[in-house]
Amino acid sequence: MYILISVLIIVVCVFLVLIVLVQNSKGGGLASNFAGSNQIMGVRKTADFLEKATWTLAVSLLVLSLLAAMTMPKERTNAARSAIEKNINETQDPNGLPNFPSGNQLPGQASADSTKK
């Protein structure tokens, strides 16, 4: 289901790009190519159609995105985890402090607990 919704999102995006590119920034768009006034669809009707198509595709993109978020697979087993995820989880904290000897002990000196037996 998730893959089907993802494919639909891509198709809607392609149509949305094409519809936006057909429109003219000053409002003429596809209708400016038709100079005759006795066309089946007039200049105003073409602009209205392109605007409604843009809004419809935008709303459908929003709805499909929400559906994709809801149907996204959540659980993954440890075997399916990627090597990058494993490396991220196994790394040490870079902000962690190293284990230095305490201030009472010199570097070559053994601790009092290790000498007593």
**pLDDT of the residue at 28:** 53
Cβ atoms of 52 and 23 closer than 8 Å: no
pTM of structure: 0.52
d(CA 2, CA 65): 10
What are the 10-residue block averages of pLDDT along the chain, 117 residues in total? 93 94 68 51 71 93 94 70 76 70 62 53
**pLDDT of the residue at 4:** 93
**pLDDT of the residue at 78:** 59
**pLDDT of the residue at 46:** 77
**pLDDT of the residue at 105:** 59
H-helix segments, the chain: 2-22, 43-71, 83-90, 112-115
